[in-house]
Structure 1
Amino acid sequence: MNSSTKFYSLFGSVFFLFAGYGLFLNSAGVKLAQMGVNNIAIGALNAAFFVGAALSAVVAHRIVSRVGHIRSFSVFGAVFAMAALGHMMMENLWLWAALRILLGFCYFSILMVVESWFTERSLPRKRAKVLAIYNVVYYVAFTAGIALLSLKLSSSNIFTLAAILVMAAMLPVGLTKIAEPALPPRQRISLPHLLAIAPLALVGSFLAGIMVNGFFTMSSVFLLQQGFNLQQISLYLMLAMLGGFVVQFPVARLSNRYGRRNIILLWAVLAAAASLAVLLAMWFWPGSPLPHYLTAFVFGCSLFTLYSLSLARANDVLPNNMNTVEISRSLLFCYGMGSLAAPLLLGVAMEQARHYGFYGVYLVCALLLAGFAWRQKPVPQAERSVFVGMPGDSGAVIADLDPRNEAAHEPFDAAAAQAHVDTANQDTPNPEQDKADTPPAA
């Protein structure tokens, strides 16, 4: 069987996986809200999913190395299905939290297994194309999962369908003759070192995790409390996905030309302006869905590329011949920590300010990101890498598909990276300093 057919099977697997993920992630909060659970508890339960994701980053690599990809894939899929169906047998929220930890662990572990196959089977010159298709599949499948919300499924049907979709992801791989890949070696990077080397990349990744997965986990709860029905909530979420999809190519060209720092600053200001505008609209025109729809589209355009921009910024400040795979994994970890904090933060804000807490958090986060980006120095165009679209909701192995590392033969070295950044900072002109050094006109 040729490699293209194998890729079709892998893309088929990730399609079902992303669709199940999109359905479960966006419907969980709605079902809890309909049960009368308060916002803080909903946020904690949604955060439990990302606790599982963090555990997957630590443990799954060892499991796969010990028993192999095929067996691991089957075990993770079976446990996911059991955990999803287990929701229908109990209503104790503590047990639900445990089940959600299992779901997050299994989902991201399956994703890691599939992505390792992509990395192993794709030729270096084809990785940009594979990654582009992967990105398209992510948006299409995630949107398909969101669209299922409009069918008014019961809680039992939601959990059953999520389990069916994830189990369907096992079929294409299980029916394909494909050799098991070798997992790439892992290298630990200190986050304080990363903060010193690429501060905007780290802060941008963390805040992107808060704003993107906070949007998916808690926006449906917020809209339900504002009187939206399931069809309106589904449309709201799909508009955000549409915005994120259509902006992928324009943001690549803009950031390559004007720099990541400037585009991150622009997107943060745009998100802050949209948050403030919708808060004012809620005050003067309560009950109108149009301002919310427009805000969702703007959020999709501005927020869904923040992780890719942060990753590109990290690539910009490192030497061209230095491999950035471990940097990518560290930034993905920061994105995951933001995703973990997001439901808790939004749950508290929505409980304290029922009508304005949700968008209030986005206003504050966007302003923090804009202020931090404003204080960073831009990277000259000659030293910038090429922008590559990377979904934040992916496994750590996806970093090995990044085509920017094809010509990078040197492993990551924190001391060399820090020296490179220090030299660049000394050589980069500071406009404010130039103004201060310029003598006044006679």
Structure 2
Amino acid sequence: MLRSIWSISSLLIGMGLLLVGSGLLGMVIGLRGVYEGFSNLMIGLIMSGYYVGYIAGGWICPTLIRRVGHVRCFASFAALSAALTLAFGMVVDPWVWLVLRVFNGLALMGIYMVIESWLNERSQATPGSQASIFAVYMVVNLATVAVGQYFVTFYGATAIESFIIAAILFCMGLLPIALTPVPQPLPIATPSLSLGTLARRTPSGVAGALCSGLVLGAFWALTAIYGRALNFSDIDIANFTAVAILGGALTQWPIGWMSDHCRDRREMLIAVAAGATLALVALSVVDTVLEGSAEPNDYIALSFVLGIFMFSIYGMAVAQTHDRFPANEALEATRGLLLLHGVGAAIGPLLSGLAMQYLGTQGFPQSMGVFTVLLVIFVWWRIHHDDPVPMEERSPFHVASDQVSPVGVEMDPRADSPLSESPPPDDGSSTETLSPEEAATAAAEAVAVAQNVASEAAEAEVRQQEEAAQQTATQPEAQSPKKPETRWDRIRHFIRRHVTQGNNDSMD
């Protein structure tokens, strides 16, 4: 396992730096929008733009990667992310930020796709390492996003230096990967989704993915607004976000283990949605219960509890979906859930931002609580209409993350069919990367071998023709069968015989 992790260390380091920059940028945009006086609805719209670009990148980026290659696309996406980050600090306008945020989401999707293609290639090249590589990648993903929240405390959200630090991190994340000699992954296929089939076969999984997007989209987008409305400092807002991520990262596996032993896995989906609802209700009433003396640490503690349940909704939705699909269709189903999660994440900030616009600060947890209550009601209704999947037919739980691209879901050990456009396997021999000199030598040898084979084939054909001619010359001519003698033939023979006899008599 350690050898497998070490082989992808440069990829993980580069991805970690990029995600630290991404986490910092999201925090700075939210806080700076508050300081600039943007409305809650406008900030929610700006944050939704990220997920619009993220979804669009799922179709645009594979085409670009196939045309120009993984390395060039990765360098281009990282450079674009750095340029966009600097543009945020230079032009402070809500509508300009909306456009920049859309392209930021598209660029991040491209970065995810390229890195996850390399990671998936490495996991398939090392048998038995897929689960460990996927788990380590999820840990790095969540941990670095959490760390990025604290970088805002260096200069504050109003200083352009915070945007510069994020741009530097995007550029630094490019170096470990660009300087690593990794083989070119297989081409990426554009995801083909059948959401109607997905909704018919696993309605609870679809509802869970959509609800997860609504809740997490609002959380990522509006936490900074919520914290500033409660008079939190920048470090308090960073703590509020980071502990929620920590709670989700630490408890996904134990919750998944319990779901493996439930009579119906949907019961655990209801449990995590209900737990998130209770945590959101507590956030709404904590100041009232404590008679206006609630401290930031009280909210931070409740954020940890919220993270335990909130980040587990998507994992439960994926597990429920895998139970309803055979292994060869699980990857396609997971891609559909990822798309639905992205749609929810694009809508969630708008709805919660609108709620905060009219209900005030408490519109943030209350709107999210409405999403989770609706999920509880829907899944409870489905449990009473559908039979559960027998335990012996279930897939084992594995940690799932919404912070991946359609390529990243291929690393899930439950996925059976690959997303890449890989050719059918041959005799099992592996391909090696050759230098230009080795490739030229191999090509010359191949041409020489082809010429020898062609000349030998021509000589063999000439020999076969000569042997066939000799056999034809030595064989006696085949006599054609005699035709039956007709009346005219007998007359002709009689005349010829008597004429010949008369000539002989005259000669005598």
Provide the residue aligned with 2:59 in structure 1.
58
Equivalent position amino acid for 2:395 in 1: S
Q: Which of 359, 362, 366 is the equivalent residue of 1:356?
A: 362
Shift of 1:329: 1.0
Structure of higher CA gyration radius: 2
C-alpha offsets along residues 81-136 of structure 1, whole Å, 9 cap, x if unaligned?
11111122222322221111111111111111100111112135211010010111
- Structure 2 CA distance, aligned partners of 1:5 and 1:277? 43
User: In the alignment, does 2:135 pair up with 1:125?
Assistant: no
- Structure 1 CA distance, aligned partners of 2:40 and 2:93? 16
User: In the alignment, does 2:255 pair up with 1:251?
Assistant: yes
Q: Secondary structure at 1:125's aligned position in 2? A: coil
- Counterparts of 1:220-235 in structure 2, within 5 Å, are 220-235=224-239
Q: CA RMSD in A?
A: 1.7
Q: 1:360 to 1:4 in 2, by over 3 A?
A: closer
Q: Which of 318, 329, 332 is the equivalent residue of 2:335?
A: 329
Provide the residue aligned with 1:267 in structure 2.
272
- Structure 2 CA distance, aligned partners of 1:354 and 1:100? 25
Shift of 1:27: 2.5
Q: 1:117 to 1:286 in 2, by over 3 A?
A: same
Q: Secondary structure at 1:37's aligned position in 2? A: coil
Q: Which of 181, 193, 200 is the equivalent residue of 2:197?
A: 193
Shift of 1:61: 0.6
Q: Secondary structure at 2:192's aligned position in 1? A: coil
Provide the residue aligned with 2:139 in structure 1.
136
- Structure 2 CA distance, aligned partners of 1:49 and 1:302? 24
- Structure 2 CA distance, aligned partners of 1:37 and 1:287? 28
- Counterparts of 1:330-409 in structure 2, within 5 Å, are 330-377=336-383, 378-406=388-416
Q: Secondary structure at 1:216's aligned position in 2? A: helix
Shift of 1:379: 2.4
Provide the residue aligned with 1:30 in structure 2.
31
- Structure 2 CA distance, aligned partners of 1:273 and 1:85? 40
Kept in 2: contact 1:24–1:159 (CA 8 A): yes
Kept in 1: contact 2:25–2:163 (CA 8 A): yes
Shift of 1:152: 4.4
- Structure 2 CA distance, aligned partners of 1:290 and 1:44? 29
Provide the residue aligned with 2:48 in structure 1.
47
| TM-score scaled by length of structure 2 | 0.77
Shift of 1:186: 4.1
How high is the sequence identity, in percent, across the aligned residues?
A: 29
Equivalent position amino acid for 1:129 in 2: S
Equivalent position amino acid for 2:145 in 1: F
Shift of 1:162: 1.5
Equivalent position amino acid for 2:365 in 1: Y
Provide the residue aligned with 2:310 in structure 1.
303
Provide the residue aligned with 1:103 in structure 2.
104
Kept in 2: contact 1:49–1:102 (CA 8 A): yes
Q: 1:4 to 1:380 in 2, by over 3 A?
A: closer
Provide the residue aligned with 1:318 in structure 2.
325
- Structure 1 CA distance, aligned partners of 2:83 and 2:193? 35
- Structure 2 CA distance, aligned partners of 1:101 and 1:19? 19
Equivalent position amino acid for 2:302 in 1: T
* Bigger RCO (CA 8 Å, 6+ sep): 1
Give unmatched runs, 5+ long, in structure 1. Answer: 410-442
Provide the residue aligned with 1:167 in structure 2.
171
Shift of 1:187: 4.9
Kept in 1: contact 2:16–2:144 (CA 8 A): yes
Which of 379-388 and 345-354 deviates more? 379-388
- Structure 2 CA distance, aligned partners of 1:149 and 1:86? 17
Q: Secondary structure at 2:18's aligned position in 1? A: helix
| TM-score scaled by length of structure 1 | 0.88
- Structure 2 CA distance, aligned partners of 1:187 and 1:88? 35
Kept in 1: contact 2:193–2:336 (CA 8 A): yes
- Counterparts of 1:205-244 in structure 2, within 5 Å, are 205-244=209-248
Q: Secondary structure at 2:8's aligned position in 1? A: helix
Shift of 1:193: 1.6
- Structure 2 CA distance, aligned partners of 1:340 and 1:89? 25
Equivalent position amino acid for 2:255 in 1: V
Kept in 1: contact 2:331–2:415 (CA 8 A): yes
Kept in 1: contact 2:247–2:304 (CA 8 A): yes
Equivalent position amino acid for 1:357 in 2: G
Shift of 1:376: 2.4
